[in-house]
Structure formats: structure tokens, C-alpha cells
Structure 1
Amino acid sequence: MPCGEYDIGGLDLSDDHYTVEQNLVRNKYRAFDDDGNTVLKGKQKTFALKDEFPFVNADGMEVFTVKAQQIRDYEGEYVLTDAQSGDDIVVLKHEYSILEQITGATWKICDVDIDTKLAEITSRKFVGLFRTGLLGNLIPHHYEITDATGDHVGTISGQLSMKDRYDVDIDDASSVPREPVVVAAMVIDAIEGN
């Protein structure tokens, strides 16, 4: 499937850099472009049996939802659905490991129909050990984004802050569907509850 077929209606994430900021109180997110303009806003639905994160663009139009497929599933699958067409775009698959705090978390971005891996987002090893506990959110997190063959695509780098604030940098998205990868980078923090 060509990368263009993974586009999300009403959303343009063609820049190479975005800053994502989490609200201090709850899982509420805002993404900014390099000029400081809001490009995306989202929050976790409360009182839902399955985790659900609807997102709107800068104009307030709902553009996509990320929804868990099962109730509180450790090795979860989250489907990203285009709000305009109702089509499922990709699946975010969390590969849970009991050693995840040491080895790092791994998320696969897969085609929704044929289950082919399109990209992978992996946290830096050992950082998880220090991000647990009372002061855990003060320690910046770091993820690497790679394509299906393991080649570097970009990074997600946390900033030292009381609330989660991080940079999403895409260095080379020629081999991956850009919008779902950038979106996944933005929502994995919310799903993990960092």
C-alpha cells in the first residue's frame, strides 16, 4: 500500500519537527509546529472501558481516534481511525515484556489489513527504571523511530520539565507513512501513561 494511502483526513503533518506538551493534571495533549502554532489537540476519554484518545486539528475538527482493542491489555493493540472516512489507518502494537523497564518499550506501527510492520518506536534502555516513582516524570524519556528494516527515521526526545514535554523529529520519512508515524509518536506517551 503506498504511503499516501495512510494519510489522515483534515490533518497535515508534513513538517520535520513538532513539540508535544502534556497537561499537568491529566492525559491531555497539544502538539505545536516550529512557529508555535497548535496543529493537534487530544485527550484521553474518561470513564471509558477501553482506552480511547480522540484528537482534533487546530480548527477543532475531529481528525482521528486511537482506541484500545481490549480492556486494560498489557500487550495492547490500539487502532488509529480516520474520523473523516471512518477507515482504520494503522494499528499500534505494544510488545509487552516483563523486563521492559530494563530493555525498553517497543511499539510497532502496522498496516491494519495485512499486519505488515511499517515502523517501530523503541524507548532507550534503562530509562524506564528511573522514570518510575514520585519524580519519574522529571527524567526525560527518549525513543528512536525506525522503519520496517530497522533504519533510522527519527526520534522522540523528552525535555526536563514538571510535565511531559518532548520533541518529535523526523529525519527521513521516505520509507514510512509520515502522518501515522508522527501521530503514533505523539500518542504513545498517553497510552503508556508516562
Structure 2
Amino acid sequence: MFDSRSYEVRQRISIGNKYRIYEGDSPILESAQKKLRLKEDFRFTDPETGTERYRVKADSVLDIAAAYDIVDSQTGERVGAVKREAVSFFKHEYSLLGPDGDLVATIREDNVPLAIARRLLTTLIPFSYEIVTPEGDTVGEANGAFSLRDRYSIDLFDDALDPRLAVVGMVVIDAIEEN
């Protein structure tokens, strides 16, 4: 699990946000967002056994200022966190923080005109994000596909970023933005 540089996320048709994550053709994780919680709570489980693999919890009740901590449920290791940046309503931007809380990358929406069209005209325009290091190097991207439910690919270009942080982080972003 997480040995590749390419992943696909498919939102499942259901009440609430449920996802299945694929590495190649194999499902590696399933996720469901817990509803009616003061703080966001996501569990990522093994699709075959149902064993919890990762847990994501918001550190505060206010969504706008929340950081979402990602923890390996098997080892208790903190993988990192996803934090929303209050840059602009028109262009989503999130910080990926490493296990020690340092900024390791930023996930930002592709461009302002398309972002505005998504917000004001239609959500049928697929979302697209780039993943950039603090030094400005692009280390990955997430590209949506036209689909009834959210479906997108995540491609990492090198080993500069922990794939668990990028993939789990993108699912959290998709769920809280309700793309």
C-alpha cells in the first residue's frame, strides 16, 4: 500500500461522503466522513477486512481555521496534517504539514477563472489541483474527471512527498469542500 506514484479516488454514491481509493486497479482504502459531529472525523479502512488504517480528526470546531490531523491507526504515528488557508473564496488552497508540523507542500486549485466558474456557474467543471513544495517545485497534481460523483487521479512526480499525506489529504479536501 502506497508504493506507487499514481492513485485514483472515487466517491461512492451514498448519503454522506464515502470514498474508495485505488492504487492501480486494486482498492487500498475506503473512507467515510462521520456525520453530525462538532469536529470533522474521517476513518480510512481496509476494503477487504474493514480494519481501520488511518484516522483524520479536526483540531477545532471552526472549519475555516481547522487543521485535520492524519494518524496511522496501526502505529499511532502522526503522518501529518491538512490545513485550510484563508487565501480566497475563489481559489482553494491547503497546506500539507509533516509529522513535526512543518510545511511540506501546498495543494492549490488550478486557476482563478475556472475556480470562479465552479463556484458561481456549475460544479460540473472537474476540480484540478497542483501540489507544490515551499520552494515552488511542483511535486504532484490531482485532476478530476467528469463524473456523476467525484472521481479524480492523484499523480506524484517523485518521492519528495509522503503519498499517504497527499492521498488522504486530497480526500479530506474533497469532503470538506463538498466538490
TM-score normalised by L of structure 1: 0.83
Q: Which runs of 5+ in 2 are unaligned?
A: none
- Are residues 1:185 and 2:175 paired? no
Distance in 1, matches of 2:145 and 2:37, equals 30
Equivalent in the alignment of 2:9: 20
| Superposed displacement of residue 134, structure 1 | 7.8
Alpha carbons 1:51, 1:68 under 8 Å: kept: yes
Distance in 1, matches of 2:163 and 2:147, equals 27
Change over 3 Å in CA distance of 1:160–1:119 after alignment to 2:
same
Distance in 1, matches of 2:171 and 2:63, equals 20
Match of 1:151 among 115, 133, 137: 137
Report matched runs for 1:104-143 at 5 Å.
Answer: 104-113=91-100, 115-126=101-112, 127-132=114-119, 135-136=122-123, 138-143=124-129
Distance in 2, matches of 1:185 and 1:47, equals 21
Equivalent in the alignment of 1:163: 149
| Superposed displacement of residue 139, structure 1 | 1.0
Alpha carbons 1:77, 1:92 under 8 Å: kept: yes
Equivalent in the alignment of 2:61: 71
Equivalent in the alignment of 2:46: 57
| Superposed displacement of residue 15, structure 1 | 1.1
TM-score normalised by L of structure 2: 0.89
3-state SS of paired residue (1:40)? strand
Which amino acid in 2 is paired with 1:182? Answer: V
* Poorly superposed stretches of 4+, deviation over 4 Å: none
Structure 1 residues 147-185: Cα deviation after superposition (integer angstroms, max 9, x where no partner): 232211111000011211111111112x22232122212
Distance in 2, matches of 1:69 and 1:75, equals 9
- Two-structure CA RMSD over aligned residues (Å): 1.8
Q: Which runs of 5+ in 1 are unaligned?
A: 1-11
Equivalent in the alignment of 1:91: 81
